[in-house]
Amino acid sequence: MKITILVGGRFHSFDLANQLEKKGHLLNLITSYPKWKILEFINIDKKKIKTVILKEIIERIIIKLRLTNYLTFLFIYLNKYFEYFASKKVNYKNTDILIGWSGFSYKSFQKSKNYNLLKILERGSSHIQYQSEILLQEHKIFNIKYKINYNEINQEIKEYNLADYISIPSEFVKKTFLQKGFNEKKIILVPYGANLDNFYPQKKKDNIFRFIYAGTLSLRKGVWYTLKAFNELNLPNSELILVGSIDHNFSPLLKEFTSNKKIKILNHVSQNKLIEFYNISDVFIISSIEDGFAMVIPQALACGLPVICSENSGGSELIKNGFNGYVVPIRNIYELKKKMNLLYEDKKHYIFLKEKVLKHGKDLSWDRYGDLIIDRYSSLLKAD
């Protein structure tokens, strides 16, 4: 198989490219990242990398200058810029499968219709219409303005229609596509993995019982519900660590919790530093309102942490209730508190869960993901 990946950013594309390269299937990786940066993450032939870096440069400058409000307006134009020039870099004639990320692939998929190749759209989140609707609901709950980007929705719907298949990471995402009338036969479902070289268990050095969340502090990630549950429990000798950048809309909601000294809000840290925070913690918690597959979940599991996650986090692909953690309904503070308190109070039960997590940690590797996804690609080509 000769496979081309097209992605305006990173996501899990570098891990997929790495797996395809290992098995001799990667033709090209077309991305907005510069070559030198890609080679920091993965070991592939640099001749196979094609870049359209202006999108990434502008985004990084805006973030550095803390002008993220402008990024919302520029996002669609930056994506279209990348989409147009990336479509010119695809070797359509020699590609068997073109894997394009949602939001960046319309032009390439259009051109692909003239060639004998499979078009697979990668969608890591829920159906774009479902995503917009639930995020609008959430912003209304907190009386925060939220503008639906109909251009973005229309773009992705066109991509869905052009794609031969859509690759997704969780049953939650699948459910949202089926709700919107998408053909189940066109769905490929393979959960993502974790880099086990970067995430592994280490011995904890103190007796403070810590809950940890890693990721953007935002309404989408349901962080307010995590904070509220922890704050109301007020457990002795406990902490809640939040590791990640703060969405500008979310900052005012943090004021409610600033007086609680057990809540530690840290900035974004690099992947190689994140392991340190996982390994001083006891339970990972994520209350996402909408998250196709929170990649921090396999990372936390690989470090030996039981996980409490929402049903909309994609975590139910890995988390089995009472086995390695718990899956709870979205926006349900009562259930969050109940499960947090259970793992804090019942030491025998906590140890049971932790032992199961440690036993099955090796099942989370990107190699396992690579084997599964490549097998699916091969089957699809044979069927075609």
Specify the CATH number for the domain of residue 286. 3.40.50.2000
0.85 surpassed by pTM? yes
Residues 72 and 181 grouped into a single domain: yes
Region 267-275: what's the mean pLDDT? 85
Helix, strand, coil content of the chain in percent (nearest 5): 50, 15, 35
Residues 76 and 35 grouped into a single domain: yes
What is the domain range of residue 54?
3-192+366-383
Region 89-103: what's the mean pLDDT? 97
In the prediction, which pLDDT does 267 show? 82
- The answer as to whether 197 is a domain residue is no
- The answer as to whether 163 is a domain residue is yes
Query: What is the domain count for the chain?
Result: 2
Buried b (16+ CB within 10 A) or exposed e, 3-36: bbbbbbbbbbbbbbbbbbbbeebbbbbbbbbeee
Residues 138 and 243 grouped into a single domain: no
Residues 123 and 136 grouped into a single domain: yes
How far from the centroid of its chain's Cα atoms is residue 23's Cα?
Answer: 24
In the prediction, which pLDDT does 209 show? 98
In the prediction, which pLDDT does 172 show? 97
- The answer as to whether 199 is a domain residue is no
Residues 76 and 217 grouped into a single domain: no
- The answer as to whether 333 is a domain residue is yes
In the prediction, which pLDDT does 70 show? 60
In the prediction, which pLDDT does 73 show? 65
In the prediction, which pLDDT does 315 show? 95
Q: What is the pLDDT of residues 221-265, one digit of tens each?
A: 999 999 999 999 999 999 999 999 998 889 999 999 999 999 999
Residues 182 and 260 grouped into a single domain: no
Residues 159 and 226 grouped into a single domain: no
Residues 19 and 112 grouped into a single domain: yes
- The answer as to whether 203 is a domain residue is no
